[in-house]
Amino acid sequence: MDELDSFRCLVCGFIYDPERGDPRRGIEPLTAFEDLPDDYTCPVCGVSVLTQNSAFVRIETAGHACGSYRSSQNGA
């Protein structure tokens, strides 16, 4: 994985941005989601990142996001 991916909490919509980290909770900038401590919880709703069916989902990068497809047909 060449870049740090952001993750969104499905419960409340909070976005964990590894570029920012969570300094108020002791998480330094550039901390990957996978490297968060086992006891880390969503700072908004409190859901744990270590549930069997995690409430956090990876946010697709712009190049792979839905709607980024461009038609190769341009009237030619």
Averaged pLDDT for residues 55-60: 87
Element (H, E) at 56: strand 56-58
User: Are 47 and 41 contacting, i.e. CB atoms less than 8 angstroms apart?
Assistant: yes
Report the alpha-carbon distance of residue 73 to residue 50 in Å, rounded: 45
C-alpha separations of 61 from 4, 49, 50, 58, 71 in Å? 10, 21, 23, 9, 19
- HEC profile of 3-30: CCCCEEECCCCCEECCCCCEHHHCECCC
The 10s digit of each residue's pLDDT in 12-53 is: 999 999 999 999 999 999 999 999 998 999 999 999 887 666
